[in-house]
Chains A and B, each alone.
Chain A
Amino acid sequence: MIKNGAQILLECLGEQGVDTIFGYPGGTILNVYDEMYKMGTRFRHILTAHEQGACHAADGYARHTGKVGVCFATSGPGATNLTTGIATAYLDSSPIVAITCNVSTNLIGKDSFQEVDITGVTMPITKCNYLVRNVEQLADTVREAFAVARSGRPGPVLIDIAKDVTAQSCDYEPLAVSDHMNQGRLLSVMKRYEFKPPEPDMDDIRTLANLLNTAERPMIICGGGVVRARAHRELAEFAHRVDAPVAVTVMGAGGFSGQDPLTTGMIGMHGSQASNIAVDKCDVLVAIGCRFSDRVALKPDTFARHAKIVQIDIDRSEINKNVQTDHHIVGNARKVLRLLLPLVDEKHHDEWKQEVFSHPKETFYDEHPGSLTPGQVLNTIVKLSPSDAVVSTDVGQHQMWAIQHFHFDYPGQLLTSGGFGTMGFGLGAAIGAKVSDPDKVVIHITGDGSFRMNCHELSTVQYYGLPIITVIFNNGTLGMVHQWQTLIYGERYSQTTLDRSPDFVKLAEAYGLNGFRAASVEEFESVFAQALASDRASIIDCTIDMDEMVRPMVGGGSHITDFMIN
């Protein structure tokens, strides 16, 4: 049937099962919004306050559900406003498809109003991007974009469509997703690109099994690949059969239950002593879906120096990139673990576990009478909220504290910008998660610095009636930078003190939301309970001390057990 470009785009989103779109309209994308208007309630469009918020929301949606998130933006500034969100998704391997429209083909390259070469801009931060100049290629391009975004190691894809393409018409035949690979452009790309995860090599898996069966001090790192592959059940079974302690990276949170007796907690710069010391002493290290970033393998040459390092990753270009491994398996974490399970013997490493767990796997923070500490806030949240509550964070001290205190149980429970470290990610991500899963309690943990970056999304929270609870760790400073300045820069607090407006309680009220303030643990307990009971979103401004630090800490580039502070 003959359809115009805007209709074809929306039909193709329908093919993919997309029902929610986050976005912001503008001049060049008007045809698409017009067709969406005519379609009535077929798509749920969430209008954010800023395109960056739309991109973070699509990202949060993707991380929580495991499906591809979709966001729309117009040309020029609309498109460039997406870039921080796209880079955030790229570094954390989150599948999103960002759709922008550009000026008409006859105006491209003429510095037209709101024109930008967004495919050029986003080349380093997307898995692939496309500029569609011909309506005949639109359907195939959208199908390819979704296939690329979700295949292998997931990631963001951008489609830029010239405005006139959205108005031109051509023949469109609906096609089920299962048939996309068998025709057109995808068929030819299929011949050379691995849309299916690589088949793990059985010999490699046997080698790893033999290695584990003879190991005396085995250790596992659970990385983001376990979360993306939803391999948490397989990993739990595997860890218990091997009887190996499991350290969890920031991106791996939820891949291995935080309540499991085998977990040693977080690893890396702010990792627990148990995790960091165990990695240093183990004789076989199995890193699953972990790219050994500089926040985990702080000093690559001495990382797990006594161990045979085995890397399991879906992306072959990650193998040996940061840490030289002794053995590797390329494949999807869940598939590899399923093949590996029957080959490993049931083991007991009581002596080794005793050694590992003689070191603390959690940090205990001092409490001062009469003041509110981050630990008190987080322990209260853990105590009062349901155990399956979704937690989104921004970036900084509050992020590390949150990951240290929550026991994440399932993939997609924690939404955090681990790789790119995007301040202002949390509120958008919380919106995406709440929209996709309205029955879950969604808690947004943030700091006063991070919150100010994208707090305009409170209008989105209010308009769509999303009862998200925002807890601000308000210490009047850029906490993590302040901590570095205390420890490394001789207490010279250059431009990190945030003794300034707004009053977050009044801000909440201005947006029509509940605003609370808490300066003691009793106050916090009371207002958090009120927030949980309310069907409106709440902002809780918690006054905490600016000299609280995230502990332990290992300096960048230092050996993993050289703790700067314990």
Chain B
Amino acid sequence: MNPSTRHTLAVLVDNESGVLSRVARLFSGKGYNIESLAVGTTDDPAVSRITIEVMADEKQLDLLCNQLRKLICVHSVKALRPEHAIRRELVLIKVLSGDSVQRNEIIQIANIFRASIIDVSKASITLAVIGDESKTEAIQHLLTEFGILELVRTGMVALERGQYTIDEQTKMKGEFDLGKNIFRDML
């Protein structure tokens, strides 16, 4: 068994009711847990883009992509390699700020992480931070000692670096290489 790692899948789908449940149930039906999920329309209002993060090995990832491509509501599927993709999520964190010293410390941390302060009350500060998990987890860790009242994440969204897009690999583009032609050199 190959090691399971976290993979990011970008999926273009029809922007219609029921489509998200079709995609989501495929994961549960095949026994995978969705680690993160983000959905929204694209520049084409008829098309939505779903970004899904899932723990799987390479073989399982291929099977999942092929299963997804079979759904009629799915336009295209691409597994984004971390080295070729930018991944970001937005995290809102509401922190307890007891006195002015603590408040200043929180503001300093926010500045270091380029988080924006979007709400302040007498007893709390709410920060918005954008980044991948290394950044959001780091700030979350630092803020824990002040007391996190509430935390919410949008789920990871991702795009490929460079001029390449998900449409480069639509379903019509023929065969996917699943370990085939391994004899070609041999014969």
Contact = CB atoms under 8 A, between A and B. Distances in A.
A binds B: yes
B165 to A, nearest CB: 15
Contacts, number: 77
Nearest to B59: A320
Contacts of A308: 183
Contact of A328 (B29, B72, B178): B178
A192 B66 contact: no
A325 B55 CA distance: 23
A120 B62 CA distance: 26
Given A192-B170, A320-B62, A327 B181 contact: yes
B152 to A, nearest CB: 28
A317 B67 contact: yes
Given A193-B171, A194-B172, A315-B70, A320 B183 contact: no
Interface string B62-92: 1100110111111110000000000000000
A372 to B, nearest CB: 44
Interface centre among A119, A203, A316 (most CB of B within 10 A): A316
Contacts of B181: 203-204, 207, 327
A207 B72 contact: no
A237 B170 CA distance: 36
B22 A123 contact: yes
Interface string B159-176: 000000000001110111
A201 interface: yes
B45 interface: no
Sorting the interface of chain B by its residue count into under 10, 10 to 19, 20 to 34 or 35 or more gives 20 to 34
Given A207-B184, A315-B70, A320 B176 contact: no
B72 A148 contact: yes
B69 A317 contact: yes
Contact of B63 (A124, A192, A207, A317): A317
Contacts of B74: 192
Given A192-B170, A203-B181, A211 B70 contact: no
A211 B67 CA distance: 29
A325 B182 CA distance: 11
A324 B58 CA distance: 13
B175 A189 contact: no
A128 B63 CA distance: 19
Nearest to A194: B171
A326 interface: yes
A123 B76 CA distance: 20
Interface of B: 18, 21-22, 25, 29, 59, 62-63, 66-67, 69-76, 170-172, 174-176, 178-184, 187
Interface of A: 119-120, 123-124, 127-128, 131, 148, 189, 191-194, 198, 201, 203-204, 207, 210-211, 308, 315-317, 319-321, 324-328, 330
